[in-house]
Chains A and B, each alone.
Chain A
C-alpha cells in the first residue's frame, strides 16, 4: 500500500480539464477536489455546475477554466440540468441524431446546493435513475455568500448565521448525513472522498463514472477561508478529519458498505477541532459531546460494513 502511494502519482494523468488560473482562495481544497474529479473523468464528459464558489471562480465571462463542455443554470438544479442533458443525448442517440460516445454526465454542487436547496432535485434525479454522477463538494457552509451555515455544517462550528455567542455554541444541529440519504435511494454507488487522499478520490470518481445509473460522491473539501485555518494546512486538516473518524472514507456499492481508509488508531476529535478558528470557542464539555457523537457514528458505520 505504501509503495502505491509513492509511485501512483506517476500513473495519474498530467492532463488538466479544470485549468490553472481560476480565482479560488489560496489553499482551497474544494478547487483541488474539482481538479481531481475533472482529471478522473477526462474529456468525454458534460458538466452541470451549481451556483457557488466553484462556479464563480471558474467562469467569469468571457473567461473559463473548463476544457470540457460545462453549463451553469442556477443554484439548486444541477442534478436536473444534468438529467436533461443525459436524457437528451439518450433520445438523440436512439433516434440516430448523435453518435454514442459513451459520454459521462456530471452534476456538481456545494453542500448548500446539494443537502439544502437542491435536495429535492437530486432525490428526483436519483429516483428517476438517470445515468449520471453527482459530486457534492462539502465545505460545510455557504462559502460563496460569506460562510453562512448549511445543514451540512457540523455541530459547534461558528458561521455567520450560526455564530458562537454568549448563549449559543455556534451551530446547534448535527451535520446532515447526505451520503446515507443518497444510499437510502438504493442507487448503485455512493462514496465519500477527500482530496487529502487523492488516489482514493480518483479511483472512486472513476468507479462512479463506470457505474450504470446514478452514482454519488460526497467530497469533504476543506475551505481555509471559512474554517479559519492557514491555507497551507488544508491537506493536513483533511487528513485529520479522516484520522479522527469525523469524516470516514467509505463506499456503498449496491448496498454493500466498505470502509476504504482504515485508520489503525482513531485520534481524538480535539486534534481536528483545535487548529480550526471556527471551533476555537468550544469548551471541553462541548468537545466531549462531539467526541461521543463521532465515536457512535463511526461504530454505526463499522457495523454496516460487510466487506
Chain B
C-alpha cells in the first residue's frame, strides 16, 4: 500500500482519478463538487495527468461529452451536484441504456428552492430509477477506494454500466482526513485497462442509440434491468478483491452491533459515523440497538438486506430527501415495500432530517430512538416525521 497523508477528500479523489489513468474528464463547476474538478484540471495543467480535460458550457453537455468519449473507448469521468445533476438528467437516463461505463462522483447537495448549497440526498433520490450502479461512501478513505472500485466495476465487460459514487457535500468533500493512498502497483493489479464491449471505430462500425418501436422497447428495457441486476456478483467480487489488497472490507449492506439488536438505525452516506456514536452510547445504557448502512443502493441488495434485519423488531430509517405527499422518505418507502408481507415484519419509523446540511448529532439519534420506542406498532400518521423542525 501507498503512503498515508492528511489531505482534503476532494483533492484525494482527484488524485485517485489520476492514478486510475482517466482519459477524459468533462465537467462543469458547481459547489460542493468544485474542488475535485479544479484539482483535476491542475493535474492536467501540470502534466501529471495525461487526459483531455473538457471545460464544457453546461452539465448537460458534460454528460453528453462523456457519452461520446466513453463510446470511443476512453476511460471517462465526470462530477456534479444537485442543480447540475438536474440539468444533465436527460442524459443520465440515456447513458446506461447505451451501456456506457462512465464514472460520476455526485457531491450530494439539496435541490433548489430555496437555493441551498448544503448537503442532503434530494439530488440522488431524484434519479433513483436512472439505471446507474449507485454506491454511498462515508469518509475520505472510502471515496479514494471507491474511485478505483468504480472504474473497475463499470468497465467490467460483464457489467458495462455507468456508476455513481455518492459523496456527501461539504461533510465529506471539504474536510481534511488521513487517507491511505494506493501505490501504483496495487492500482494496476486491481484496475485493468478499459476494453470496451462496443466501440465507435471505423474498422468495425456499430450503430448505438437506435430508435425503439413499441414492438422492441420492452425487450430492450428488460435486458437493461437484467444487466443492472446481474452486475451484483461483479460488484461484490470487486469489493472482496479490494479487501485482499487493502485490508478494507466493503459490503453491499454493512452492520454495526446488529446481530442481537432489536432496533436498528438505517442510514446511507456520512451519517453512518454519527449514528455509530449514538449506538455505542445506547449500548452503554443497555439498549439493544444496532445500525445498518446501505452501501449499494442500486442494484438493491435484497438478500443482504433481509439477512441484516433478521430478528430485528424495529427499523429507524433516516431519510435525507422528501417525497412530497408520498408515503415517507424515499428510502423508507422502499424498505417498507420490500419487507411487506414478510413474517415478523419489523415496525418502521421514518425520520426526515439533515436537510440542506443541518447538523444531526448523536444526541439527536438518541432522541429519535426514544421517540420511536414510545410509538406502539404502526401508527400511520407518525410514520413520517420531520425531526427537529420548528413549527
Interface residues of A (CB under 8 A from B): 43-46, 48, 55-56, 59-64, 66-74, 76-77, 80-92, 94-95, 97-98, 101, 103, 120-121, 123-124, 127-128
B210 and A92 contacting across the interface, CB-CB below 8 Å: no
Cα of A85 to Cα of B73 in the assembled complex, Å: 9
Chain A, residue nearest B23 (CB): A91
Cα of A45 to Cα of B201 in the assembled complex, Å: 8
- B71: CB under 8 A from chain A? yes
Q: Contacts A72-B209, A87-B69, A128-B54 known; A92 to B64 CB distance under 8 Å? A: no
* Chain B count of residues within 8 A CB distance of the other chain: 46
Partner of A121, one of B54, B60, B69, B71: B60
B208 and A92 contacting across the interface, CB-CB below 8 Å: no
- B94: CB under 8 A from chain A? yes
Q: Would you give the shortest CB distance from A264 to chain B, in whole angstroms?
A: 42
Note all chain B residues with C-beta closer than 8 A to A61. Answer: 210-213, 216, 220
Interface of A is mostly: mixed
Which residues 41-77 of B have a CB within 8 angstroms of A? 50-52, 54-58, 60-61, 64-74, 76
Note all chain B residues with C-beta closer than 8 A to A45. Answer: 202
Cα of A62 to Cα of B23 in the assembled complex, Å: 31
Cα of A43 to Cα of B201 in the assembled complex, Å: 10
Note all chain A residues with C-beta closer than 8 A to B70. Answer: 84, 88
Cα of A91 to Cα of B53 in the assembled complex, Å: 10
Partner of A46, one of B23, B51, B202: B202
Q: Would you give the shortest CB distance from A260 to chain B, in whole angstroms?
A: 29
Q: Contacts A88-B70, A91-B74, A92-B72 known; A69 to B201 CB distance under 8 Å? A: yes
Note all chain A residues with C-beta closer than 8 A to B71. Answer: 71, 81, 84-85, 88
A71 and B202 contacting across the interface, CB-CB below 8 Å: no
Q: Contacts A61-B216, A74-B91, A84-B54 known; A69 to B68 CB distance under 8 Å? A: no
Note all chain B residues with C-beta closer than 8 A to A89. Answer: 72, 74
Note all chain B residues with C-beta closer than 8 A to A60. Answer: 210-211, 213
A77 and B52 contacting across the interface, CB-CB below 8 Å: no
Q: Would you give the shortest CB distance from B311 to chain A, in whole angstroms?
A: 48
Q: Contacts A44-B202, A89-B72, A91-B23 known; A121 to B208 CB distance under 8 Å? A: no
Q: Would you give the shortest CB distance from B34 to chain A, in whole angstroms?
A: 19
Cα of A91 to Cα of B206 in the assembled complex, Å: 21
Cα of A70 to Cα of B198 in the assembled complex, Å: 12
Partner of A123, one of B57, B73, B76, B211: B57
Q: Contacts A48-B68, A60-B213, A82-B68 known; A74 to B94 CB distance under 8 Å? A: yes
Cα of A59 to Cα of B26 in the assembled complex, Å: 28
Note all chain A residues with C-beta closer than 8 A to B54. Answer: 83-84, 87, 128
Q: Which of B60, B71, B72, B201 has the most CB of A within 10 A?
A: B72
Note all chain A residues with C-beta closer than 8 A to B72. Answer: 46, 84-85, 88-89, 92, 98
Q: Contacts A84-B64, A85-B69 known; A97 to B52 CB distance under 8 Å? A: no
Q: Contacts A77-B91, A84-B67 known; A94 to B57 CB distance under 8 Å? A: no
Inter-chain pairs besides A70-B200, A91-B52, 15 sampled, C-beta below 8 Å: A59-B207, A60-B213, A66-B205, A72-B211, A77-B64, A77-B91, A80-B64, A88-B52, A88-B73, A89-B74, A91-B24, A92-B72, A94-B50, A97-B193, A121-B58
Q: Would you give the shortest CB distance from A41 to chain B, in whole angstroms?
A: 10
Note all chain A residues with C-beta closer than 8 A to B61. Answer: 77, 80, 83, 120-121, 124
A73 and B66 contacting across the interface, CB-CB below 8 Å: no
B60 and A128 contacting across the interface, CB-CB below 8 Å: no
Partner of A83, one of B65, B98, B202, B220: B65
Identify the 4 closest CB pairs spanning chains A and B, nearest first.
A84-B68, A88-B74, A88-B69, A80-B64
Partner of B67, one of A56, A76, A81, A121: A81
Cα of A94 to Cα of B21 in the assembled complex, Å: 13
A71 and B64 contacting across the interface, CB-CB below 8 Å: no
Q: Would you give the shortest CB distance from B222 to chain A, in whole angstroms?
A: 14
Q: Which of B50, B55, B70, B71 has the most CB of A within 10 A?
A: B71
Note all chain B residues with C-beta closer than 8 A to A83. Answer: 54, 56, 61, 65, 68
Note all chain A residues with C-beta closer than 8 A to B211. Answer: 55-56, 59-61, 72
Note all chain A residues with C-beta closer than 8 A to B98. Answer: 71, 73
- B260: CB under 8 A from chain A? no
Note all chain A residues with C-beta closer than 8 A to B273. Answer: none
- B363: CB under 8 A from chain A? no
Cα of A45 to Cα of B203 in the assembled complex, Å: 10
Cα of A48 to Cα of B76 in the assembled complex, Å: 18
Q: Please list 7 pairs of residues, one from A and one from B, whose beta carbons are closer than 8 Å in the complex, sorted by A's number.
A: A59-B211, A61-B216, A70-B208, A74-B90, A92-B74, A98-B72, A124-B61
Q: Would you give the shortest CB distance from B49 to chain A, in whole angstroms?
A: 11
Note all chain B residues with C-beta closer than 8 A to A127. Answer: 57
Q: Contacts A44-B202, A71-B209 known; A88 to B64 CB distance under 8 Å? A: no
Cα of A124 to Cα of B60 in the assembled complex, Å: 12
B205 and A88 contacting across the interface, CB-CB below 8 Å: no
Note all chain A residues with C-beta closer than 8 A to B94. Answer: 73-74
Note all chain B residues with C-beta closer than 8 A to A84. Answer: 24, 26, 54, 64-72, 76
Cα of A250 to Cα of B37 in the assembled complex, Å: 42
Cα of A127 to Cα of B52 in the assembled complex, Å: 16
Q: Would you give the shortest CB distance from B300 to chain A, in whole angstroms?
A: 27
A70 and B57 contacting across the interface, CB-CB below 8 Å: no
Q: Which of B68, B91, B207, B216 has the most CB of A within 10 A?
A: B68
A69 and B200 contacting across the interface, CB-CB below 8 Å: yes
Which residues 206-239 of B have a CB within 8 angstroms of A? 206-213, 216, 220
Chain B, residue nearest A89 (CB): B72
Chain A, residue nearest B58 (CB): A120
Q: Which of B64, B202, B211 has the most CB of A within 10 A?
A: B64
A76 and B202 contacting across the interface, CB-CB below 8 Å: no
Cα of A62 to Cα of B66 in the assembled complex, Å: 25
Note all chain B residues with C-beta closer than 8 A to A124. Answer: 56-58, 61
Chain B, residue nearest A60 (CB): B211
Which residues 74-102 of B have a CB within 8 angstroms of A? 74, 76, 90-91, 94, 98
A70 and B205 contacting across the interface, CB-CB below 8 Å: yes
B205 and A80 contacting across the interface, CB-CB below 8 Å: no
Cα of A25 to Cα of B299 in the assembled complex, Å: 43
Cα of A76 to Cα of B23 in the assembled complex, Å: 25
Cα of A45 to Cα of B72 in the assembled complex, Å: 12
